Amino acid sequence: MTTVKHRLTRAGNQIGLFLHRIAKGRLDAHGDATVLMITCPGRRTGLPRSTMVRYLEYDGGYLVWGTGSGSATEPDWFRNLRRAGEGWIEIGTRAHRVRIEILDARERDHVWHDIVLGAAPGVEKYAVKAGRTIPIAVLRPIDTTEPDEARKKARPSWPHQALDTQGP
């Protein structure tokens, strides 16, 4: 991704995070597309990194996929998921600490074709543009609490001010 595109993507993410926090999740859906905010430690810094991503409910958890809007490389937020193992999500005003499961090739292919493309056929254009296999993760809730309590439990040592940026 070029530097300009990367900066625009980062700015768009910051706007999405700002709107999510200000509106307390009331603006997190557009038509049938719903998004959640996921936060997990950055793979290089260990600082919390948050981003808004589209999701589908699946098998008691939430499916997220890393199209990167058709980028030839996997998005930074998905690379962070691969390393983290755990994180936390907010859907509207509900917060969940989650265990992150990256799907293996066989399950990923089934889920991509039968679940993701079945519910969101428009994302296929990003996979074609990317020219790579789009990774998929299932975020499995560990607990459900009020957002403020979940933030304290999920990341007691994470500084709040670091939540407003997507990592390198």
Q: pLDDT tens digit string along 13-58?
A: 666 655 555 655 555 555 566 789 899 999 999 899 888 899 999 9
Distance of alpha carbon 32 from alpha carbon 134, whole angstroms: 21
Percent composition of the chain: helix, strand, coil (DSSP 3-state, to 5): 40, 30, 30
- Total domains present in the chain: 1
What is the CATH classification number for the domain harbouring 129?
Answer: 2.30.110.10
How sure is the predictor about 78, in pLDDT bands with cuts at 50, 70 and 90?
very high
Domain of 83? Answer: 3-164
Query: Which residues neighbour 37 within 8 Å (Cβ) at sequence distance 6 or greater?
Result: 17, 20, 28, 50, 51, 52, 89, 90, 91
Which pair of structure tokens corresponds to residue 146? 């009020």
The pLDDT value given to residue 13: 61
Q: Is the pLDDT of residue 3 over 80?
A: no
Average pLDDT over residues 58-63: 94
Q: Is the pLDDT of residue 157 over 50?
A: no
How sure is the predictor about 10, in pLDDT bands with cuts at 50, 70 and 90?
low
Which pair of structure tokens corresponds to residue 103? 């799907």
Best-predicted range by mean pLDDT (4-8, 36-40, 87-91, 100-104) = 100-104
Q: Of 15-19, 62-66, 82-86, where does mean pLDDT reach its minimum?
A: 15-19
The pLDDT value given to residue 107: 96
How sure is the predictor about 69, in pLDDT bands with cuts at 50, 70 and 90?
confident
Distance of alpha carbon 141 from alpha carbon 31, whole angstroms: 25
